[in-house]
Structure 1
Amino acid sequence: MALSSEQFAGYMRQMAGGALITIELFAASFALALLFGTLIGIVTQTRNPVVRALWKTYASIFTGVPSLLVIFLVYYGGSAMMTALFGRAKPFEVTPFGAGLVSLTIVYAAYVADLVHGAVQNLPRGQFEAAAALAIRPRHAWIYVILPQLARLALPGLINVWLVMLKDTPLVSLAGLNDIVAHSKLAAGATKEPFVFFVIASLFFIAFSWVSLAATRRLEMRLASGMAEVKS
């Protein structure tokens, strides 16, 4: 069918609204995954066998199960699980956005935790010893001494997690989220012009990735600015 400029503008407005939902879900999920992943990565430094066993179980499950299956499990089974846990007479309602937020957070917190755990292990032990020798409280030592160095060490891995998570976010559209992919599919079906709208959706992700990479390069330079240059 011939697509008028007015129709095209209408579909583009819908896709713009979907793009905003995609960005909101992605940003919220990444922020939570970064927060919980960092906490888990620090807690797993303990030698407590129970904590280490729980961490290995959690990591093996959520780094091995596809994100799409986790989304489906949360979306279709989350209401029953929450109702059983809290014993409410009225079932909990799980929205596509909520299911995506919980699923992406759970999955990618495991990857972030693994990165943080490895970054802590790669820090020279002298950093901890120096903080202790200066009588810096452990909490302050982590905040002002350890975490800034962890950010520099873990940043390349976090960039990869950021980009992979961005590409997994549209999977939530299969659970009913009206994101940019869902709107591009509807527009393609209504106009019989799938190439046009799927290319536009692809360009959105390309542009978002390009802006992200440009921002992270600046962040890398800023984090490295305080590091002394090692001369051979």
Structure 2
Amino acid sequence: MGESLLNESPGGRIPQAQRLRDLLEDAIVEGHYAPGDRLDPEALARQYQCSRTPIREALTQLAASGMVKVAPKRGTFVARLGVTELVERFEVMAELEGMCGRLAARRITDKTLTALQGAQADCRQCMLEEDVNGYYYKNGEFHRLIYEASQNTFLAQEARRLHAMLKPYRRLQLHARHRLESSWCEHERIVTALTTGDADTAQRELKDHVLLQGERFNDLVASMQHLGQTRA
């Protein structure tokens, strides 16, 4: 599963560290690293053909999101979520996003609404190009703006923290067939509710957009299995 990063865009360590984080997130979610596995920076640097500096940066980001745990004097270890933990966190994430949507419908500024509409336009372009990774990043900006629009610093902080923890799983959801289109359509309903100030609809649409249940849960599990088999 090694992959060279020598062809990444020039500039420096931040883009490379982000790419490494993405690769490691995928590897953890797909089961290439089991819960409790130690991630050795030197071995990872050889595997991904890069220096240890971006590896350390990527591991720090993963630790902040809860994907790995750092044990003093022992190293960094995978802390992969089990199915029950994953469902529980998506349930909480759905409630937090719903709260953000309800508050944002009442408090969003014209400036933030314009930025949100811009992020939605970017998502549409990625959808049309079938650019899953591009959509993933623009989708993150879309949700960040809604957290900001709630104008509740504590709520936004908690939403961002849990969003970061669930990032690799949310990205895998996008690999399901037609998920980009359905996600973008859900965004459209959210933007409409926020534009018209419909707090009840904004809350409901955001909860439904995030909640992991039924076919969406099955699609996520299937995506994890398929990508794991492909990498293997």
- Scaled by the length of structure 2, what TM-score is found? 0.27
Higher strand fraction: Structure 1 or Structure 2? Answer: 2
- Scaled by the length of structure 1, what TM-score is found? 0.27
Between 1 and 2, higher relative CO (CA 8 Å, sep ≥ 6) is seen in 1
Higher helix fraction: Structure 1 or Structure 2? Answer: 1
